[in-house]
Amino acid sequence: MNMLPTKLKKYTYAFIMAGILMNILISCDQCFYKTTSTGLQYRIEKKGEGPKPKNGELLLIDIVYKTKDRKVVLDYTNSDSPVIVRYSDSDSNLQADGGIYEAISMLKKGDRFIFKLPAKKALGRQFSEAATKHQLEENTLLYTHVYLKDIVNEKQLEQLQKEQFKAMLEKRKEHIAKQLPKDLEIINNYLDKKQIKASSTNSGLKYTIDKPGKGAHPQPGNTVKVHYVGKTLEGQVFDTSIAEVAQQHNMYDARRHYEPLEFRIGEGSMIEGFEEGIKLLKRHAKAHLFLPSVLAYGEAEFLPYIKAHSNLIFEVELVDILTQ
């Protein structure tokens, strides 16, 4: 006799039971959480063995915000840059706010908790951007995974930040060594195709001086005023300080003041290749700067136009150099 129907019944039964069990677990999500007097829901994933923080100490915390279906909204678990919170036991209102501060006040070193928090209360200033991206309402519950990695004082934090900065420089050095040759191959092919003869700096920046300026080059501490047009190698304009250019490329914003960009040389407020290029110019000079991605935004993305490892072009004019 053919046993296939019997096997099908077994598989069907197992499938139905798995579905029922899954529904029970989902509906019983509440069973795994405790609730504080303020209504804060929490679940202990792992109890740490360290001490409770003292007033004024600095807490190094990893935080991940997830939706109920486990989609990550924000992730602050990068070991190089944990969230830093100064602990205070003097404000009872904060410790009983039903939000992230109350959640943090419950932790001791090594604790891993999950808190259910309304998105608005959990994300604070990041809520608007995250709400748009993830279709969140103010009261959408986020599963907030919190891990108290360490408790330090000011001196320990300063030493830790020095070590992190050193590690970051080493990591950046390795990245540049790997990525720069790729960037330069793409830029050189572009320049050859366009028959552009560009000069180079030791960093990998390529540039052409289209109109020589007069006077001295800007020095560290000088404030400069610069008109610019930022483009991808494909010719897509992604930003400009010139109203007419913005209008031509259908990106004009009436709320924006279109005027020369003003920044101080040496403060590190601009992407590396842009500032390096401006330092090569004199007052009223015009130039094209061809930035490898390692001197621009690197692996960061500013969609839709700037993708990871984007090499960029800036048409610039050094409008003025101001003294300190």
Q: What is the CATH number of the domain that holds 261?
A: 3.10.50.40
Report CA-CA distances (Å) from 296 to 217, 271, 313. 22, 6, 10
Among left, alpha and beta (phi > 0; psi -120 to 50; other), residue 120 is: alpha
Same domain, 44 and 122: yes
Same domain, 246 and 203: yes
- Determine the pLDDT at residue 93: 53
- Determine the pLDDT at residue 1: 44
Residue 249 lies in a domain: yes
Domain range holding 232? 180-322
Strands of the chain (E only): list them: 34-35, 41-46, 58-66, 72-76, 83-86, 112-118, 141-152, 199-200, 206-211, 223-232, 237-240, 261-264, 286-291, 312-322
CB-CB contact of 236 with 306 (8 Å)? no
- Determine the pLDDT at residue 233: 96
pTM: 0.61
- Determine the pLDDT at residue 183: 97
- Determine the pLDDT at residue 290: 98
Phi/psi at 114 (nearest 5 deg)? -120, 125
Averaged pLDDT, groups of 10, the chain, 324 residues long: 51 61 56 87 93 92 93 82 82 68 91 93 88 92 94 91 85 92 98 97 97 95 97 96 96 94 94 97 98 94 88 98 80
Same domain, 142 and 195: no
CB-CB contact of 309 with 298 (8 Å)? yes
Residue 58 lies in a domain: yes
- Determine the pLDDT at residue 230: 97
- Determine the pLDDT at residue 301: 85
- Determine the pLDDT at residue 23: 59
Same domain, 118 and 61: yes
